[in-house]
Amino acid sequence: MQALLFTSANGVRAFADAIQARHLRVLAVGDATAAEARSAGFPQVQSAAGDSEALAAFAIEALDPQAGRALHITGDHIAGDVVGTLQKAGFAAERHVAYKSVAVTQLPSALAGDIDTILFHSARAAEIFLSLGAPRANQLTAACLSPAIARAASDSPQTRIAWARIIVSPHPREDALLQAALA
């Protein structure tokens, strides 16, 4: 195996909890995931500083299709097809589901409080919020980590939501999302 690919800090934590090996090269979707990998003890970590498409493109440039397989560690829900993109480029790649994400069945009571912005880090989170009725959406700003997440927040099959506004982070990073939300 030539590399582990992570698209979330949750994937890093789940893998690190299950496997003691830390010798493999790590390619991370972004800086926060890379920082989590370094914190977990992986010595050779690189960040694609983007989304799953950026990670796949980075892996194609950084790895050698003849040097062994790449293992994409994920949750049970993923946004992009990193493995499919790598396979089309001639890599031996596979996906391993390391954790499950469980959708809430009701929104936290804090949403009834004095808030004006909701941060969405995934399309699935936005879809779940919408499926639970999106209370007060017309009074809230949806701050989305990427254009794909913004589309999920605004184009629900269940309902059309009229947000007070939708903000899209200029870069798929937490710091950029927070700066956009506070601007």
- pLDDT means per 10 residues, the chain with 183 residues, are 93 92 92 94 93 93 96 89 96 94 83 84 87 82 89 70 88 86 87
* pLDDT for position 81: 93
Q: Enter the pTM of the model.
A: 0.78
* pLDDT for position 50: 82
Pair of tokens at residue 126: 């936005």
**Could you give the strand order of the β-sheet that contains 141-144, starting from the edge strand earlier in sequence?**
117-120, 141-144, 165-168
Cβ neighbourhood burial of 169 (10 Å; 0-12, 13-18, 19+)? buried
* pLDDT for position 95: 96
The pLDDT tens digits for 18-34 are 988 899 999 999 888 99
